[in-house]
Chains A and B, each alone.
Chain A
């Protein structure tokens, strides 16, 4: 070994290498990543939806980065757990804002969306609600926006459709006595009556109930020609089963909670004719969705839970990326304020799975509603409203 390692030449070479490394390191850190947050239920009772939604978003982020990221810079998504609980959601968002310092974050589940709204507004960080549908989300503040249509959109569509296209004159509304149920039931009533129909029965049921005979008998006595059911995944099948068993043969409409393949399996022939809404295109409507679902089946071994919601979560990073790209080109720092300004300036976004999305100044978004019907034991598209 030469004792003359430390010759001038060697040192100069070493210095050059070090300088180069430092420069590239500096360049790498100058290439800052664009970061945003995702606060979803990763654990708890809603995790079966939340985790699929997170996976969809992660796929999108990976695709975006593969395609060059944000003008060459990386798009980074920081995922935190909310358990769909308002309190835990608050802590997650606090962390995203104070510790991770993101200019925008995505979240879902109405309780969480509402709970973290004050934080987003106070800190001027954009909150994107993707999936929650409570109508009061539109009034939560300057920095709270939704890319998912709020409850009135799909209920309005199905109520109008029943009154106008299906020619129904007397509707009965059966709903779960909880937030989703009561809000949507009111919307249905308003829209149906405005379209010239009459609501002949308006019955709520307790979330813990398993027997709905009383309510259904009242409905039967009122003799409707259409029944709208607004329940949850856990009770919708029972309600419909008992409806049929009590001799209620009228067509039943519901919303996205009914739109799942298990319903058909659980109800068998009794599922025929059930109408549900979906706020995202199905496999038959778009090739991209078809490929998306095929990828799920291939990589995960099943279809995603709550397919429409996962589609929205797949699209959300694309929207965020578009805004970041614009900010990057304009050399504006990615602060919450700038994010919001740019988002409103662009207004309309072309998203891969759910199509065109236009953010309204009233903090709502209007999307086409897909009405799906069970025909021959399968969910088929019946109509599209508002395209």
Chain B
């Protein structure tokens, strides 16, 4: 069963389809790293992104590039609202992890219901057709969707990387991710950095959903289902490690697709959960855990990076 062509084909298609997963994972990891928030509301942003593109292309009948711009604008606006109205309010009150989780989860559900109301529950795609012409390279079928998808992902990642490495704001972001209050003492505007992080995540999500929605059908609940993969990749890649999340997303995608060759197809869906569980149980010692506070952005009480401290810091 494992002949070269089949393996190469699976590798190629998995690579291409991991493009959107990488973007979703990196977006989730970025927000987590900088703001310390497990942003389950990303599903809501994903839903907003998709349906704005869908409406622009299929209802308004504008060309693709215009739809992309509209989608990006609306997604960024939604991300802005999420950070400024949502997260900032939560920070001001010094709420717990539980609160944030419930809040972000509920926001995603709320937006899903709004989408159901506005768009019904019939599965939709951005373009009316999801069929992309295929060219054969050697014996490998390369769809006209694959290369632009990979290209867009690489471009977004490159932008992100150069931003964080080479711009001042990017460096501030790393500082805030490490220790927000300390960074503030050095004159960095925490608020602004948080906003930039959430906006950048929104941009990543927008591109990701554009890619996804031009290849597969989307329902109002799809955002939440896609999130699991992003979360798994972030955990497995290492919390605080954005590159790790990206790599984990690719590897997970490839493994999930090629697993079909060795395990019965019924069990394929289970793999993700197995990986997640293994990562949580076996990897944490190797991960750089962020020094979490019990409250958001309150005065620091540096307890050190020991296991006891992280256990203490992680509670509600």
Contacts and interface: CB of A to CB of B under 8 A. Distances in A.
A touches B in complex, CB < 8 A: yes
A267 B130 CA distance: 6
A213 B266 contact: no
Nearest to B271: A206
A238 B130 contact: yes
A219 B107 CA distance: 42
A59 B186 CA distance: 73
Interface string B244-260: 00000000000001111
Nearest to A240: B131
B215 A210 contact: yes
B285 interface: no
B311 interface: no
Interface residues of A, number: 39
Interface in A226-249: 233-235, 237-238, 241, 244-247
A238 B6 contact: no
A51 to B, nearest CB: 10
Contact of B258 (A214, A265, A268): A214
Contact of B266 (A45, A204, A218, A269): A204
Interface string A200-215: 0001111111110111
A244 B131 contact: yes
A386 to B, nearest CB: 31
B90 interface: no
B128 A265 contact: yes
A339 B116 CA distance: 39
B267 to A, nearest CB: 9
Contact of A209 (B215, B219, B268): B268
A247 B136 CA distance: 9
Contacts of A211: 13-14, 17, 257
A47 interface: yes
Interface stretch (B40-48, B118-126, B187-195): B118-126
A15 interface: no
Nearest to A206: B269
Interface string A95-108: 00000000000000
B219 to A, nearest CB: 6
Most chain A CB atoms below 10 A, which of B14, B136, B212, B257 = B257
Interface string A140-183: 00000000000000000000000000000000000001000000
Interface string B196-210: 000000000000000
Nearest to A246: B141
Interface residues of B, number: 39
A29 to B, nearest CB: 41
Nearest to A241: B131
Contacts of A46: 121
Given A45-B121, A267-B129, A267-B131, A213 B9 contact: yes
Contacts of B69: none
Nearest to A174: B265
B132 interface: yes
B282 to A, nearest CB: 25
B14 A213 contact: yes
A234 B221 CA distance: 12
A46 B219 CA distance: 12
Nearest to A260: B122
Nearest to B16: A211
Contact of B131 (A47, A213, A270): A270
A245 B135 CA distance: 9
B10 A213 contact: yes
A235 B125 CA distance: 12
A1 interface: no
B14 A268 contact: no
B269 A234 contact: no
Interface string B121-151: 1110100111110101000010100000000
B134 A204 contact: no
Nearest to B269: A206
Chain B CB within 10 A, most for which of A233, A238, A244:
A238
Interface string A36-55: 00000000111110000000
Interface of A: 44-48, 177, 203-211, 213-215, 217-218, 221, 233-235, 237-238, 241, 244-247, 262, 265-270, 305
25 contacts: A45-B219, A47-B121, A205-B268, A206-B265, A211-B14, A211-B17, A214-B10, A214-B265, A215-B260, A215-B265, A217-B6, A218-B1, A218-B260, A234-B123, A235-B217, A238-B217, A241-B130, A246-B141, A247-B134, A247-B136, A247-B141, A265-B129, A266-B130, A267-B130, A270-B131
Given A238-B217, A241-B130, 18 more contacts: A44-B121, A45-B116, A45-B221, A177-B266, A177-B269, A204-B264, A204-B266, A206-B269, A210-B212, A211-B13, A213-B13, A214-B258, A214-B260, A214-B268, A233-B123, A244-B131, A244-B134, A267-B130
